[in-house]
Amino acid sequence: MIAALALSFAVIFVAELGDKSQLMAMTFALRYRWWVVLSAILTATTLVHAASVFLGHFLGLSIPTEFMSIVGGLSMLVFGLWTVRGDELDDDESSKAGRVGRSVFFAVMSSFLLAELGDKTMLATIALAADHDWLGVWIGSTIGMVAADALAIVVGRVLGRHLPERTIALGAAVLFFAFAIWLIVEGLIGASALVVVLTLVAAAVITAVGVAWIVATNRRRAAEALAEDPLPSTAPAPFPK
């Protein structure tokens, strides 16, 4: 078990370096609390690698993952558009930080679940579990991936302290769009023409709705800012007596 744990940790940690999941972890850490992101990654990794170990050790099977890759890419597209729009939190909503934290937790967890299904780290875990102690592989692979993503979170937090908030948001949006393209292309390789067309149509609809949402939000914010801070009066000031 110890040998399987050490081997799995080393293999998955190295495989995760520079992977899209590590870049995603850094991106989320730029926008949200690091402990929420890390706990969501830990939960998603534990679930995905549990499935990997079960498939590799007990069934010796793999599952088709093209559909999940496409869904993950579309979700990254939504995240990118949402990031460009920006978040809003007024005085009343600030008291609901716990609810916001739970929403972020489930959003990050679902994103990593979708991104990891069929990823090379999942396939590596399946292969390791087929020939090694399943519990050691499960623990080692989970710790290895979380450690690599924690390293990315540290980098993201350090960058976040030295960059303006809007610059961080736009940079995160660009990364989300890159992840979307990455995942969708992975899912469409070898897919049928119908799947390609449906995926492109879905991406176009999401983009159109997102752009309209961003434009409407920016107009509303501009109107609210104008109402709160109107232009100063142009009437001449009275002469002093």
Instruction: For residue range 144-162, list pLDDT tens digits in order.
Output: 999 988 988 888 777 766 6
Going by pLDDT thresholds of 50, 70 and 90, the confidence category of residue 211 is very high
In sequence order, which residues have a C-beta less than 8 Å from that of residue 53 and are 6 or more positions away? 125, 126, 129, 134, 137, 138, 141
Q: Is pLDDT above 70 for 227?
A: yes
pLDDT of residue 165: 61
Domain boundaries, the chain: 1-87+102-226
pLDDT of residue 96: 40
pLDDT of residue 3: 86
Q: What is the mean pLDDT of residues 114-132?
A: 76
Which position has the higher pLDDT, 91 or 63? 63
Exposure letters 174-200 (e unless 16+ CB within 10 A, then b): ebbbebbebbbebbbeebeeeeeeebe
Q: Is pLDDT above 90 for 89?
A: no
